[in-house]
């Protein structure tokens, strides 16, 4: 392979950069859209369950039942939104979406608790959203179990005159995300998904635009080789992608308060490799598409959907069917999401992340070679 002519490469890059600057839509996609997506998804996507709307039907109206209700009201996981007077009202509140759950305290609850006899409370739940309902039921069960344990401890202390020593005590300690905030987990993965979509979408229009506007014939007639043309077109979008990456990191740090515990140098080095692969994928799509519309649609399907669904960003890969787990190994965003989360949350270094980094290098090199080879076929 002959050496690149840097002068011709710089000329192509300058031409593409001028086109981007003169096109406000391209600049909007390149700079504004990633920030908008990061803020929308960053604030909207959350795995935290807070203030679940709850309906309470307290038929007992005794100190014991009021204490149980108070524990639900005092929990950050529930918010009493309705107080029905019968089953029909409780069911209607769930059916119309005013509440997610309804707590039903029986009439004899206070009497049974006071006489230290077993009793029950009922929880009605909207099972439409299975994940949310499962979490909410778990929190409700914890509140009721804690209240029940305290009643037993009080009984034991009253009978023996001393507090019991529990045979087993759980002392949980969460590493890497001590406050258990989902945004610390979501934002790094979100950056990987957005960068894949935006960069591939930008470059997917470049070659297709040349064919649509009729300027490709002029480029073919010049001595510029396909490798110089591809690299020249990638150069301005690579700079824009790195600016987007910097803005995303700053937004994650100062808007979402997500700290970076790992090396910034490693973060931006791997990001640069990832951007080369994503940009080259966009160029590859652009060389195969005849129109900008088709290229943009293909870029969306080839980047955003796999990165969002199969990278481990939102859904645990271990819970996927075996066939899909195999497919995820061919999704580069899977490795970038792992790298970003390890850098953000664990402060991992190259010694721990070298397999993912090596795969990122392979992805970038493969996409770049395929883009150059594919464009060379168009020139022939």
- Domain with residue 149: its CATH number is 3.40.1710.10
pLDDT bracket for residue 372 (50, 70, 90): confident
Does 58 share its domain with 34?
no
143-157, 206-220, 314-328: which range is least confident on average?
Answer: 206-220
Secondary structure class of 50 (helix, strand, coil) = coil
pLDDT of residue 102: 93
Distance of CA 292 to the CA centre of its chain: 28
Does 118 share its domain with 227?
no
Which carries the bigger pLDDT value, residue 9 or residue 96?
Answer: 96
- Given a cut of 90, is residue 208 above it in pLDDT? no
Bridge pairing between strands 101-105 and 52-58: parallel
Average pLDDT rounded to a whole number, residues 355-361: 93
β-bridge mates for residue 122, sequence order: 104
Cα three-residue angle 62-68-73, rounded to 5 degrees: 120
Distances (CA, A) of 49 to 53, 73, 131, 177, 308: 11, 15, 10, 16, 22
Cα three-residue angle 364-275-214, rounded to 5 degrees: 95
64-68, 176-180, 233-237, 336-340: which range is least confident on average?
Answer: 176-180
Does 100 share its domain with 156?
yes
Helix H or strand E segment including 219:
helix 216-221
Q: Tell me how many domains the chain contains.
A: 2
Question: Residue 292 has which token pair?
Answer: 């900008």
Answer yes or no: is 168 within a domain. no
Average pLDDT rounded to a whole number, residues 310-319: 86
pLDDT of residue 245: 92
Does 185 share its domain with 323?
yes
Range of the domain at 240: 6-46+181-379
Does 217 share its domain with 140?
no
Does 146 share its domain with 216?
no
Does 134 share its domain with 231?
no
pLDDT bracket for residue 379 (50, 70, 90): very low
- Given a cut of 70, is residue 360 above it in pLDDT? yes
Instruction: Write phi, then psi, for 55 (nearest 5 degrees).
Output: -100, 135
Instruction: Write phi, then psi, for 238 (nearest 5 degrees).
Output: -65, -45
Does 224 share its domain with 266?
yes
Answer yes or no: is 171 within a domain. no
Does 343 share its domain with 319?
yes
Note whether 289 and 204 are within 8 A (CB): yes
Mean pLDDT for all residues in the chain:
85
- Given a cut of 60, is residue 72 above it in pLDDT? yes
- Given a cut of 70, is residue 94 above it in pLDDT? yes
Pick from 22, 77, 23, 18: nearest CA to 48: 77
Q: What percent of the chain has pLDDT over 90?
A: 31
Q: Tell me how far apart the alpha carbons of residues 337 and 324 are, in angstroms, rounded to a whole number.
A: 17
For tokens 């493969």, name the residue: 366
Q: Tell me how far apart the alpha carbons of residues 286 and 294 are, in angstroms, rounded to a whole number.
A: 9
Does 41 share its domain with 100?
no
Helix H or strand E segment including 103:
strand 101-105
Answer yes or no: is 337 within a domain. yes
Which carries the bigger pLDDT value, residue 238 or residue 45?
Answer: 238
Distances (CA, A) of 73 to 67, 146, 197: 10, 15, 43
Answer yes or no: is 353 within a domain. yes
For 285, residues 6+ apart whose C-beta sits below 8 A from its C-beta are 200, 204, 295, 298, 299, 302
Question: Residue 93 has which token pair?
Answer: 């509140």
Answer yes or no: is 152 within a domain. yes
Answer yes or no: is 175 within a domain. no
Answer yes or no: is 176 within a domain. no
Q: Tell me how far apart the alpha carbons of residues 292 and 210 are, in angstroms, rounded to a whole number.
A: 10
Note whether 205 and 16 are within 8 A (CB): no
Secondary structure class of 187 (helix, strand, coil) = helix
Answer yes or no: is 187 within a domain. yes
pLDDT bracket for residue 365 (50, 70, 90): very high
Pick from 9, 119, 105: nearest CA to 62: 105
Does 40 share its domain with 186?
yes
Does 237 share its domain with 309?
yes
pLDDT of residue 377: 44
Question: Residue 319 has which token pair?
Answer: 């819970």
Looking at residue 344, the DSSP 8-state letter turns out to be I
pLDDT bracket for residue 380 (50, 70, 90): very low
Note whether 312 and 334 are within 8 A (CB): yes
pLDDT bracket for residue 166 (50, 70, 90): low
Note whether 349 and 266 are within 8 A (CB): yes
């Amino acid at each position: 392979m002959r050496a690149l002519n840097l002068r011709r490469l710089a000329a192509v890059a300058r031409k593409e950069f001028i086109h981007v600057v003169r096109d406000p839509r391209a600049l909007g996609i390149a700079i504004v859209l990633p920030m908008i997506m990061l803020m929308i998804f960053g604030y909207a996507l959350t795995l935290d369950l807070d203030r679940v709307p709850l309906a309470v039907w307290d038929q007992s109206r005794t100190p014991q039942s009021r204490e149980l209700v108070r524990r639900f009201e005092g929990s950050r996981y529930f918010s009493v939104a309705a107080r029905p007077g019968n089953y029909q009202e409780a069911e209607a509140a769930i059916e119309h979406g005013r509440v997610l759950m309804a707590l039903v305290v029986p009439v004899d609850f206070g009497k049974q608790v006071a006489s230290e006899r077993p009793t029950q409370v009922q929880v009605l739940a909207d099972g439409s959203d299975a994940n949310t309902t499962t979490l909410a039921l778990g929190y409700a069960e914890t509140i009721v179990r804690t209240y029940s344990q305290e009643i037993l401890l009080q009984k034991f202390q009253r009978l023996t005159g001393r507090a019991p020593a529990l045979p087993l005590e759980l002392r949980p300690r969460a590493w890497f995300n001590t406050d258990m905030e989902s945004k610390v987990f979501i934002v790094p993965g979100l950056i990987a998904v957005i960068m894949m979509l935006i960069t591939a979408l930008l470059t997917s229009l470049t070659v297709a635009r040349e064919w649509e506007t009729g300027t490709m014939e002029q480029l073919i007639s010049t001595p510029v080789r396909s490798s110089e043309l591809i690299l020249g077109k990638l150069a301005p979008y690579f700079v824009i992608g790195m600016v987007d990456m910097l803005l995303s990191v700053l937004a994650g740090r100062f808007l979402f308060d997500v700290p970076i515990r790992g090396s910034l140098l490693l973060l931006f080095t791997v990001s640069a490799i990832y951007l080369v692969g994503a940009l080259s994928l966009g160029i590859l799509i652009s060389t195969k598409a005849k129109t900008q519309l088709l290229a943009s649609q293909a870029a969306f399907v080839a980047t955003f959907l796999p990165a969002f669904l199969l990278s481990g960003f939102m859904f645990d890969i271990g819970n996927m069917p075996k066939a899909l787990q195999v497919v995820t190994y061919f999704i580069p965003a899977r490795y970038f999401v792992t790298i970003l989360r390890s850098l953000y949350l664990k402060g991992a270094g190259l010694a721990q992340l070298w397999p993912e980094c090596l795969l990122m290098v392979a992805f970038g090199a493969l996409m770049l070679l395929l883009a150059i080879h594919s464009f060379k076929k168009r020139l022939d």
